[in-house]
Each structure stands twice: as C-alpha cells, then as structure tokens.
Amino acid sequence: MYKKMYKKMYKVMYQIQLDKDNMKKTVLARLRYVVFTQLITLFCGMAFASPQPSLTENQAIRIIDEAFKLQPLFWQGFAIPYSIERSSQHKDAAMLEVLFDNNLLIREKETQVVAIAGSKRKRISLNYRYSFADQEMGERIGSQEGFYYGYGRLKKLLQLSKPYLIGESYYAEAYVQWYVTDIQNWVDAPAFDKARTLRRSLESKLKPFEKRVYLQYDGQGWAFWKGKPGGL
C-alpha cells in the first residue's frame, strides 16, 4: 500500500518538476524573442534614420536675409476709412494729412450732426473722411495690414545653434540683428516722430533691431521657419 502511494507521489513530484522546467523554457524563449525584436528595431532605426544635416553660418545668413526681404513691413497706426474734424489738432489728424499729401489716401469733406456731451443740444461737425483711392491701392499699400513703410535686411548673425531634432524635423535657432530698408518718404515727417516703430526704423541701420528666428530642414534643404520649432 505504501509503495503504491510512494509511486504516485513520485509521479506527481516528477510532473511538477517537468512543468517548472517547461515554464522556465517558455519564459526564456519569450524573453529572447522580445530582446531580439527590440534589437532588430533599434538596428533598423539606426540604419534608416536620416543623418543630422549640417548648417553653416553663410547658409543661415543667406536664408535669413532672403526671408526678411520677402516680408514687407506695415505700420498699423489707425484703421481706414477714418473721419476726423477738419479743425482737429489731434496727432492722428497730422499723420492723416501727411499720408494724404503723399498720395496714399484721398479725402472728402463731410458734415455730421453730433450730440454735445452733457447736453441735449447738438452741433454741426465739419469733417474730413480719409480713404484709399481705390480697392486696388488699398490692397497694395494699406488695407487691413496698415501702411507699407519698408522691408527688413539682415545686419549681423550673432548666434547660431547646432541643428536639433523635434519630431521628424531638424531645426536651428539664430539670434540676429536686422534693419529696415526701402523706408518710405512719409516716415520721416515730424507728424510721425511719436510713432516709435517708425522712428526706430529710421535709425535701425545704426541701432539695429534684434530678434530670434528659426530655420527648418525639410529633408531637401534648410528654409526659414515662421514661428517656433515643431509649430509650438
């Protein structure tokens, strides 16, 4: 009786040991498979990954300067059309007069009846109504963007970072000095002395603006990138 029990126990223990061995083999096989697939993925990625593109300072200077030249600058002092009293001494009246004298605007006389502040009485207001000469002119020199006053040029490249990868694209960051050229005649009129952007533009050749710009590599070459890397 004891012999039979012993044999049964031995068989059970032997089966348990076999199961443990098989389990270990299965775990090891799965582990080997995971490691193998990860190594294959890594090596394939290294094999097909595009190399880091190079970017020289001369390349960056050429790209940035060309981009600046293609970006016209507009001064947004006020919206057009604009109605203002003919006798007004407001700074806008003086600026509108200059733009009119430079054929950027036309004006028409108009009469309006306006309420007197703090009274029930009304008065007659004799105004000038300024507008663009025609729609084509408005789109070309003013429209909603403002008045064209020049375009930028690169003066000096102060810093240029090494290319770095964000997502699937390489970017480079440049810190530059730039100035405004092709400055329009009306910008130098005394009426615009308090328009800081215009005043700084006049002196920008000697006191250049500074800003940070970005370049992107599209797989074929480097180009100017509007905004921050990765579209952030």
Q: What is the pLDDT of residues 176-221, one digit of tens each?
A: 999 999 999 999 999 999 999 999 999 999 999 999 999 999 889 9
Give the residue with greater pLDDT, 39 vs 127: 127
Q: How far apart are CA 164 and CA 53, in angstroms?
A: 9
Give which of 207, 184, 194, 203 is closest to 77, Cα–Cα. Answer: 194
The pLDDT, as a whole number, for residue 23 is: 57
The answer, yes or no, to whether the previous bond of 190 is cis (omega within 30 of 0) is no
How far apart CA 64 and CA 114 sit, in angstroms, is 52
Confirm if 153 and 179 have CB atoms less than 8 A apart. Answer: yes
Tell me: the pLDDT tens digits for 128-187? 999 987 655 555 555 557 899 999 999 999 999 999 999 889 999 999 999 999 999 999
pLDDT on residue 43: 44
pLDDT above 70 (res 7): no
**The overall pTM is greater than 0.85:** no
Would you mind telling me the total number of residues written for the chain in this entry?
A: 232
* Summary mean pLDDT of the chain: 83
The whole-number pLDDT of residue 45 equals 44
Query: Which pLDDT does position 198 carry in this prediction?
Result: 98
- Residue 154 CB neighbour total at 10 angstroms: 22
What is residue 24's predicted lDDT score, i.e. its pLDDT? 56
pLDDT at 100 over 60: yes
When pLDDT is cut at 50, 70 and 90, the band that residue 25 belongs to is low
Report pLDDT for 54.
95
* Predicted pLDDT of residue 46: 44
